Structure 1
Amino acid sequence: MAPADFPQHILRYRNQRAAQTVGLGGLSDTEWLDHFGRFHPLEGSFPKPLALRYHGHQFQNYNPDLGDGRGFLFAQLLDEKDRLLDLATKGSGQTPWSRQGDGRLTLKGGVREVLATTMLEALGVDTSKSFSLIETGESLHRGDEPSPTRSAVLVRLSHSHIRIGTFQRQAHLQDVDALSRLTAHVIEHYYPDCARETMAASAAALLEAVCARVAETGAKWIAAGFVHGVLNTDNINLTGESFDYGPWRFLPHYDPGFAAAYFDQTGLYAFGRQPDVLAWNLTRLAECLLPLGEQADLERALNTYFPAFQRALPTAFLARLGLVSEGAEADAALLETLFKFMASSKAPYEQVLFDWRGGMESAARAAKSPIAELYQSDAFAPVRARLVAFTPAPRLNLDNSYFKRAQPRTMLIDEVEAIWAPIAADDDWCGFEKALTEIADMGRAYGHMP
């Protein structure tokens, strides 16, 4: 693979914190542009980038004509925990899988991905990291935003870019040997605890482990009020990280039917349907593994997904609220009353979780909230009654300046557009930089960022 030769390279975002974890924090800006704008190889990694081929169900319709159409795997390296990580691109030019696309990324799309990943990381979601964003000086034409528009190339840091769709391709081709080698590779590098004496047992163990990771990520999306938007099988990664951000949104208020993508006209990937869609996608992975394993064992492994999700959801919300579990029954009851209140009141989703950080420990703070009146309503009374029984978790950080704010940092669609508008009009990046500073403050307050 050869990257595009861009006419311009302007560094717009450099994730120095992530760079430090993979030994690249000492790069000068010139070296950074050479590696992540011109794609000069990193020492010790690939001499040339790789475009990966995969298949996938897109809106649950099978498509064998997929692959890295505007990106490639640029490098692999180890982080400070000796985990194998990928540096992969978005907008780096055409590949054999571009399907007549230009292989480019709009600058707005890059800005949106930086905002999504940093926000999710701050809220405790396991996500790919936006590593670098470089404006590349081309004019792009797109049907879904004003054109011509500015171009960029993004580099993301992720644990893996092996997708359910990667397995689907080998299964579709009926290449059992390749499927076996792919499974062994994933177990060796990402799930070593799943290695068993036989491939059949290893495949079942891998499926169960992937189900657990995906369930945890899905639960954290719900706790973050996040809607991914396009949960195709090629957008679900074997290591369970949230990645591949397109028309994402955060909820303004609790609404199970809220869809992120304008083209999701049936609401297939709506907020409240995400757990079920993840299960559907995992079922496709289980089907891929049938040539390697026993059907009964794979079904058993697949059936661990919903119990895992049901455990992960209260855990994710208690983490957001900074509360200690009082047992499965009490945890579930709190969550049920909280959802009922948010559904009936239409209270701002993030505001409620922000106001009640630490449960009754924050009662006085919640009484000063912009939506304090809602907390005096009959609808909130069952939530308050449940909260009384919960113990605040250690290290709540309520003395952090972030919790002195009247309103939390949010990233609703209007806020994203307000960040982009001055960039588009005047090349004014102040709003973008301010948002990132506030997100980092939030991440430190919640204990998810150093």
Structure 2
Amino acid sequence: MPVSSAYQPDPLFPDLGPEFADPVEAARFPKTILRHRNDRAAATVGLDALTDAEWVAHFGRFEPLPGNIDPPRSMRYHGHQFRTYNPELGDGRGFLFAQLREAGTGRLLDLGTKGSGQTPWSRSGDGRLTLKGGVREVLATAMLEALGVPTSRSFSLVETGEDLVRGDEPSPTRSSVLVRLSHSHIRFGTFQRHAFFERADRVDLLIEHVIEAYYPELAGAKDRAAALLAAVVARAARLTARWMAAGFVHGVLNTDNMNITGESFDYGPYRFLPYSDPNFVAAYFDQTGLYSFGRQPEAVFWNLQQLAGCFSLVTQTDPLVDALNTFGAAYRRELAAAMVARLGVVAQGEEADAAFVQSAFRALAEGGERVRWEPFFFDWFGGRDDRALAGPRAALYAEPPFAEFRERLAAYSADRPERLAHAYFAAAEPEELLYDQIEALWAPIAQADDWSAFEAKLARIEVARQGWGFS
């Protein structure tokens, strides 16, 4: 197998033992048609030299990577789903396939699957992923990465040749298996499972593993559980702020959908905002708006409280409460930083930035449906009113709702102004990823197996990523 010197296997998770995961086999699929391979991500872990046939062998038939996890492991966890505890969860249609180090940073990364077949935790599910679901996740991760949101990366998408029946989309529908490259698949719910069984020893073992693998800087902490919670709180605050600045609605912020490294993953009914609306929901079944755009910080904090409850089995309550209480201030700082970065200007300090960011949110809110979310940031990027006032929304921006924002923006200078010379900013409109656009990208795939629009969209998102310069 032609791996490069950048390939550094380091399968740590199986060492935790049988109470944390179950050995499984991948489904045997009728077909394995490669639909997407992320060579930029593959280069970071030494797998970009694989031929397409080798790629499909590993990420469609799941032949083990050298020196890595064999057999794969379906991970055990519980979780709160819409705040109702469910002790019957776990990897029901995926598994941990490999762990390896990222070139340059040394970060431990996972290759995990979605749609790879049934496991002991499938319950009544078929363990499969629709092709449309795979396409949607590839698009989500590409867009979020371009916008500077910490996210898993869609590593591979292989069509698998089965007809699936689903209740929420036309059936039968095509099937796929997705592989994601993620910083960790250890979820808040991973801790919840062992807390549920009152196994303080396993909670403590998992804390030690997480610190060793992902937070080595905490190795000398006196209260390692409280120190880990504080670090997870900080990462979660950063992630939430980046979602909000990106106008992203995850849709299903259950405790099993949040991991301990502060990275967004597992994209089901996500949406990007068309315009500012705190009540905007991504999931049709979120009838109370629990996970609406404006309530995402609240949802994340609630989930952090559940994680703290698990840690209370192994340490005192007061330091955990202290760690939780850092979330509000951390989130406000991170939101200001994320919004300043999205507008491409140099930060001026906490007080000035907070007022500036509030003026931006007020402008978006008062503009209502007339102000599309992504074009607002595109038009004003770099603090250049000559771009915004010469573009298609110039008349709108001249109205009173934008007066305070424009006044405050005038005091800011461009951050890395050379970015404005990138071809991306010469376009009349920015890249967006709205619901109707995704449906339009899927239609030619479903009707004529035509992937050209999908591939062109990914190419444009890559140009956007390079233009924004966030990653």
Q: Which residue in the other structure is 1:82 paired with?
A: 106
Q: Which residue in the other structure is 2:243 paired with?
A: 221
1:243 pairs, out of 254, 265, 275, with 265
SS in 1 for 2:35: strand
Q: Which residue in the other structure is 2:217 paired with?
A: 193
Matched, 1:25 2:48: yes
1:109 pairs, out of 107, 112, 133, with 133
Query: By how many angstroms is 1:178 displaced?
Result: 0.8
Hey, what's the Cα distance between the residues in 2 that align with 1:396 and 1:279? Answer: 38
Q: Which residue in the other structure is 2:284 paired with?
A: 262
Hey, what's the Cα distance between the residues in 2 that align with 1:183 and 1:396? Answer: 44
Query: By how many angstroms is 1:446 displaced?
Result: 1.0
| TM-score, normalised by the number of residues in structure 2 | 0.93
Indicate how the Cα distance of structure 1 residues 240 and 378 shifts in structure 2: closer, same or farther if over 3 A, else same. Answer: same
Q: Which residue in the other structure is 1:441 paired with?
A: 463
2:84 pairs, out of 52, 56, 61, with 61
Hey, what's the Cα distance between the residues in 1 that align with 2:248 and 2:418? Answer: 23
1:120 pairs, out of 136, 140, 144, with 144
Unaligned 5+ residue runs, structure 2?
1-23
1:341-384: CA deviations, max 9, x gaps? 1111120011111100011xx21111222211111101111111
SS in 1 for 2:226: helix
Hey, what's the Cα distance between the residues in 2 that align with 1:356 and 1:82? Answer: 36
Hey, what's the Cα distance between the residues in 1 that align with 2:221 and 2:108? Answer: 24
Q: Which residue in the other structure is 1:160 paired with?
A: 184
Hey, what's the Cα distance between the residues in 1 that align with 2:205 and 2:391? Answer: 56
Query: By how many angstroms is 1:179 displaced?
Result: 0.8
Q: Which residue in the other structure is 2:205 paired with?
A: 181
Query: By how many angstroms is 1:196 displaced?
Result: 3.1
Matched, 1:71 2:94: yes
1:373 pairs, out of 395, 398, 401, with 395
Hey, what's the Cα distance between the residues in 2 that align with 1:305 and 1:10? Answer: 44
2:221–2:227 CA contact under 8 A, matched in 1: no
Hey, what's the Cα distance between the residues in 1 that align with 2:276 and 2:380? Answer: 16
Hey, what's the Cα distance between the residues in 2 that align with 1:444 and 1:108? Answer: 27
Unaligned 5+ residue runs, structure 1?
none
1:213-259: CA deviations, max 9, x gaps? 01001000001000000000000000010001000000000000000
2:381 pairs, out of 357, 378, 390, with 357
Alignment of 1:95-106 (within 5 A): 95-106=119-130
Hey, what's the Cα distance between the residues in 1 that align with 2:78 and 2:28? Answer: 28
Q: How many residues align?
A: 445
Q: Which residue in the other structure is 1:421 paired with?
A: 443
1:92-145: CA deviations, max 9, x gaps? 000000011000000000000000000000000110000000000000000110
Q: Which residue in the other structure is 1:432 paired with?
A: 454
Q: Which residue in the other structure is 1:209 paired with?
A: 231
Indicate how the Cα distance of structure 1 residues 293 and 196 shifts in structure 2: closer, same or farther if over 3 A, else same. Answer: farther
Deviating runs (4+, > 4 A) in structure 1? none
Identity %: 59
Matched, 1:291 2:291: no
Matched, 1:44 2:51: no
| TM-score, normalised by the number of residues in structure 1 | 0.98
Q: Which residue in the other structure is 2:153 paired with?
A: 129
Q: Which residue in the other structure is 2:254 paired with?
A: 232
Amino acid at match of 1:348: R
Amino acid at match of 1:355: D
Hey, what's the Cα distance between the residues in 1 that align with 2:39 and 2:61? Answer: 19
Amino acid at match of 1:10: I
1:358–1:396 CA contact under 8 A, matched in 2: no
Hey, what's the Cα distance between the residues in 1 that align with 2:214 and 2:456? Answer: 36
1:6–1:136 CA contact under 8 A, matched in 2: yes
Query: By how many angstroms is 1:395 displaced?
Result: 4.5
SS in 2 for 1:77: strand
Hey, what's the Cα distance between the residues in 1 that align with 2:348 and 2:98? Answer: 45
Amino acid at match of 1:433: E
Hey, what's the Cα distance between the residues in 1 that align with 2:239 and 2:219? Answer: 23
2:427 pairs, out of 402, 405, 408, with 405
Q: Which residue in the other structure is 1:274 paired with?
A: 296
Question: Alpha carbon RMSD of aligned pairs, Å?
Answer: 0.9
Matched, 1:142 2:172: no
Alignment of 1:372-391 (within 5 A): 372-391=394-413
1:396–1:446 CA contact under 8 A, matched in 2: no
1:324-354: CA deviations, max 9, x gaps? 1111121111111111111111200111111
Matched, 1:252 2:274: yes
Amino acid at match of 2:170: P
